[in-house]
Amino acid sequence: MDGPVTFTRILVVAWAYTVLMLPRAHAQSAPEYEVKAAFLLNFTKFVEWPTGSFPAADSPLTICIVGKDPFLKFLDDMVADESVNGHRLTVRRLSADAATQGCRVLFAGVGELDVARILGSAGRGVLTVGEGDRFMRAGGMITFVIQNQRVRFDVNLSAAQAAGLRLSARLLTVARSVVK
């Protein structure tokens, strides 16, 4: 009876191993970023933006990628025809020093060094997502981490609250750690 479930678990574990091990094995870390792209997309579903963040009920929800884009085509593929609460998802790529007007989600890759400046430009009503301890320490709201070869994330709840964002409790339950 347990067989199939156990088998599924084994499959999941095998899959995770493959996904997490491959980036290290190969120069291209696409599978890791495919997962991260999916996560990035899913975050929008557990976040409530402050009122007035969208000019209209069907205004697009823009995910901005600052600097180097690690997602290759994954994010664009996922976002295509996707919408959250009536807002069509769009992806915009910005240079590191560009203005962040219109962005509702701001992603800064691990390669971006001037995290403080990027976070400072984010302002109110923007969900900041990044990678690495530096980003976390600089006050990023959600930071991707790798644990047990699985993509996970930490949440800085106070930073999100300071920006007027409300994160879903369900999001918090799956976070690795939550800083209040």
Partner 1 sequence: MFSLRNTPIRRKVTIITMMTTLAALVMAGAGILLVDSLLFRRSLQRDLTALARIIADGSTAALAFNDPDTAAQTLASLRWRTHVQSACTYRLNGSVLAAYQAPGALRCPPPDTAPGIHFSGQNLIVSEPITVGGSRMGTLTMLCDTEQTTERLRLYGATVFCVLLAASLVALLLAWYLRALIVKPISRLVDTTRSVAESGDYSIRARKVTHDELGTLVDRFNEMLAGIQSRDNELKKALGEREIALCEADNERERFRFMAESMPQKIFAAGPGGESVYLNKQWMEFTGLPLEQIKGWGWSQFIHPSDLEESMRVWKHAIATGDPLQMMSRFRRADGVYRWHLNRARAMRNAAGEITLWIGSSTDIHEQKEREEELRRANEDLQQFAYSASHDLQEPIRNVAIYSEIVVRRYRDLLDEEGRQYLEFMREGGRRLARLVADLLAYTRASTVDPVPAPVPASAALESSIADLAEAIREAHATLTYDRLPEVYMSEAHLRQIFQNLVGNALKYRNEEAPRIHVSATERGDLWCFSVQDNGIGIDPQYKEKIFGLFKRLDHDPKLGGTGIGLAICQRLVERYGGRIWVESESGKGATFFFTVQQRPEWGRAGKFQSAGSGG
Stretch that binds partner 1, among 23-31, 120-128, 133-141, 171-179 (CB under 8 A): 171-179
Nearer to partner 1, 8 or 18 (CB): 8
Where do runs of H (alpha helix) occur along the chain? Answer: 3-25, 30-43, 74-79, 115-122, 132-137, 157-162, 169-174
- In single-letter form, the type of residue at position 20 comes to L
The DSSP 8-state label assigned to residue 45 in this structure reads G
Nearer to partner 1, 3 or 52 (CB): 3
Cα 38 to Cα 143: distance, rounded to the nearest angstrom: 14
Residues in Cβ contact with 15 at an 8 Å cutoff, skipping those fewer than 6 apart: none
CB of 13 to partner 1, least distance (A): 10
Q: Decide: is 2 part of the binding site for partner 1 (CB under 8 A).
A: yes
Interface residue with partner 1, options 51, 52, 55, 173 (CB under 8 A): 173
Residues contributing to the site for partner 1 (CB under 8 A): 1-2, 4-5, 8-9, 11-12, 35, 38-39, 42, 44-46, 82-86, 150-153, 168, 170-171, 173-174
